[in-house]
Amino acid sequence: MITYLYWALIIGLAFGLVYVFGGRMGSWKGASIAAAVVLLAGFLAFYFYFQQMFVKRYGGVMAIRVPAGQLHIAATWKADNLWVENYDPATNECIFSEYSKGSVLEGRVTIKNCNPIAVGRPAVVPPREESPAAE
C-alpha cells in the first residue's frame, strides 16, 4: 500500500509541476523538463533507496524468484538488505544471496557440502522414551 501512495505522490507532483509551469506560466518546455526530472528522481530514489525499506518497515510489495534448479530454504533481513538462502541439490551447496538497495554491492556466500536436513525429506523425530509410571 505504501508503494502505491509513494507513486501517487510522485506522479501527482509531476502533474502539479506541469499545471503550474505549463498552465499558469505558459512555459510548456520548462513544465516538461521539471516533470521529467521529478519522475526520474522518484524512480531512482525508489529503486536505490525506498523499495526494500518500504517492504521491511511498512509492508510494501517486492518479488524475487528462486533460480531454476534451486530450492528455497529461508529469508532474513540484515539492516535494510534481504538475505535469501537457497539450496542447490545438483552441487550440494547452500547459497546465501543478498538483495541490496538498487542491486548494488550484492553479496553472495556459498556453503559447500551443505546438505540441509529439512530439504526434500521429512524430519525424522526419534521416538519418545516412556517414563516409568508412578505406582
Q: Helix 51-58 to helix 2-17 angle, to the nearest 10 degrees?
A: 130
Nearest-angstrom CA–CA distance, 84 and 102:
16
pLDDT of 25: 82
- Report yes or no on 123 lying in a domain: no
Nearest-angstrom CA–CA distance, 89 and 98:
20
Note whether 33 and 54 are same-domain residues.
yes
pLDDT of 78: 84
Structural domain that includes position 79 = 71-112
Quote the number of domains for the chain.
Answer: 2
Note whether 50 and 20 are same-domain residues.
yes
- What average pLDDT values come out for the chain (135 residues) when binned by 10 residues? 88 92 84 93 88 80 84 86 88 86 74 72 53 52
pLDDT of 51: 80
C-alpha cell at 66: 528462486
* The overall pTM is greater than 0.85: no
- Report yes or no on 94 lying in a domain: yes
At position 80, the amino acid (one-letter code) is D
- Report yes or no on 18 lying in a domain: yes
- Report yes or no on 126 lying in a domain: no
pLDDT of 26: 82
pLDDT of 128: 55
